[in-house]
A and B are shown apart, each in its own frame.
Chain A
């Protein structure tokens, strides 16, 4: 294998990177991992509020892939696969006999907990819309929150979401549809309220 400088890794095709990864090139591995690192971390934060645990889980997950690099299939660096693995890792390693599934009936402290959002809200200058959305989100079930997140933030299709969450594709479609409907109707009425409030305060 000829030597490649760090900058040149950026110019390699996915196939070339993949071949180098298989051959034990750790820089190619890093390059492949880098693409998904932030997405993974962000998703991890939806599953647990312990950010250090998320960082650790990502390292574990990727090093597992590295250890099995000679035998793994081609689909390893596909986002949906990585997210699914991370989900499994984080929910599986949750201490104690807590639920492994995101249960609609389970109240707040499970996945999609709000502390990170809360921190952001506390620390940053928030628009009214974000605050409103935060309230709206809290009214959604955990499943709805996750589906929306995977669809919106991770930009995955229903099939991929179904794989990650262990649901039927049709269930994902239904869930998304319902979520949007709720979100939109709430959003519109909230915005209306917001508007009225602004008008009122402006009038004073």
Chain B
């Protein structure tokens, strides 16, 4: 039991029970204090003083916040919180699509991303952080050994990845990728310039590590250009959605389990400049959107009652990949089809559906099996 007899006015000031009595918030305290005053009449003056102080201070500290305003602020807060969380959820896998249906989804979405990672080159010999260089990353980061394609020629070469995505690697460029992608992500490393035709799979984001940036693909096809000596990286998007992060931020977030990464989401006709020295991402509008198309190979194809062998041959040329199939068994198969923005896998899906065939990706080649057409 507290000995209130020794209390001075300011001690009462901070006594919860005393304050409740004074502000009349709880009736139970009133009984106690009234009784106490009867028993300690000599302390009545101190108590009166303290009560006056409590009342005066309460009035003094009164604010203008109404219940309505508080409710409104709280609703706004909760709304913003939900909004921010939802914008993060692109980080987390959505419903995984089954092997047989992903192409329908991709076609229906028909999102084409053209992303140019165009950099202005200023050779920087001193401040290059080796930690995030292409060489360092490909040697030290992946758990499984990587395969590497180096284009030393003068023409672009095509690389077929295990998920069916096709990378057109331009001259003086290198691409490292795992023989088989991991269960959670599809990560590749690029030095130089490449055009990506990525098979859409929201459950397994496609990540391109290039010159201290990480580009996450939410759309389907785009161009990346990032030569090693570069100090300024620009990402441009024609259509669709692409996320770009600084490598440092991306890795930090991955390690700490943070779902929100400081990055830039690019939508059509937006461009991002990443300055390697200032380690800053700057978003802007693309000045001449049409220029983006220049680096993008045209892959329009149209076939009318064409023998499937001819279609496959055309696909081989367009994508620079090897297609294996039994030409005799499929001699009677004719297709009517036209392609524009579809990627290789989407095209193969359409063709195989038409002629009742199936295909699989084996060691950088596509093997098509069919019982033939009648």
Contact = CB atoms under 8 A, between A and B. Distances in A.
A4 B9 CA distance: 47
Nearest to B85: A24
B283 to A, nearest CB: 19
Contact of B77 (A63, A132, A149): A63
A152 B57 contact: yes
A30 B78 contact: yes
B152 interface: no
A133 B10 contact: no
A113 interface: no
A107 B13 CA distance: 27
Interface majority SS (helix, strand, loop, mixed), chain B: helix
Interface in B46-100: 49, 52-53, 55-57, 59-65, 69-70, 73-74, 76-82, 84-85
Contacts of B49: 184, 187-188, 191
Contacts of A59: 73, 76-77, 80
A59 B80 CA distance: 9
Contacts of A26: 78-79, 81-82, 85
Interface residues of B, number: 37
A90 to B, nearest CB: 15
Contacts of A92: none
A124 B65 CA distance: 15
B172 interface: no
Contact of A34 (B57, B74, B84): B74
Contacts of B13: 152
Nearest to A151: B14
B260 interface: yes
Interface in B1-33: 8-10, 13-14, 16
Given A24-B85, A120-B59, A183-B10, A29 B78 contact: yes
Contact of B65 (A38, A129, A184, A188): A38
Contacts of B62: 120
Interface stretch (A64-72, A75-83, A97-105, A163-171): A64-72
A116 B64 contact: yes
Interface of B: 8-10, 13-14, 16, 49, 52-53, 55-57, 59-65, 69-70, 73-74, 76-82, 84-85, 256-260
